[in-house]
Amino acid sequence: MIKVKIKNNIIKISGHANYNEFGNDIVCASVSSIILTTVNSIMNIEKSSIDYNDDGKVITIINNQTNENTNILLNTMIELLKDLEKKYKKNIKIESEE
C-alpha cells in the first residue's frame, strides 16, 4: 500500500500499491506521475519554495510556504491523490494531521 502522510507543511509518500505486478501497476504509475509533475512544476516556478528528497523508499516534500502557486500545486496534488484513494482504497491511504 502507498501511504501518504501529511503533517503541517510536510508530505511523505512511501510504499508500493501492489495493484498489479511491477511495470503494470496503474496505481503506482498514477501516483508517480502526479507527484513528479507537481514537483517539476514547482521547481520550474521557484525551486526554493519546497525541499524535495527521494531516498528510494520515501519521498519527502517540505512546503516552505513562500509561494502561493506552490500552495495551489501541492493542494491540487493532494486532491488528485485523494481521488485515487477513493477508487483504490486497498492500494493507497492518505493520513492528514493538519
Question: Is position 4 annotated as part of the catalytic site?
Answer: no
- Given 3, 16, 82, 90, which residue is catalytic? 16
Displacement of CA 3 from its chain's centroid (Å): 9
Q: What is the largest CA-CA distance in the chain?
A: 40
Delineate the domains of the chain, giving CATH numbers in brackets.
2-93 (3.30.70.1490)
**Annotated catalytic residue within 13, 28, 35, 39:** 28
16 in active site:
yes
pLDDT in tens, 26-79: 999 999 999 999 999 999 999 899 999 999 999 999 999 888 999 999 999 999
What single string gives the DSSP state of each residue in 7-49?
Answer: ETTEEEEES---SSSTT--HHHHHHHHHHHHHHHHHHHHHGGG
pTM value is 0.92
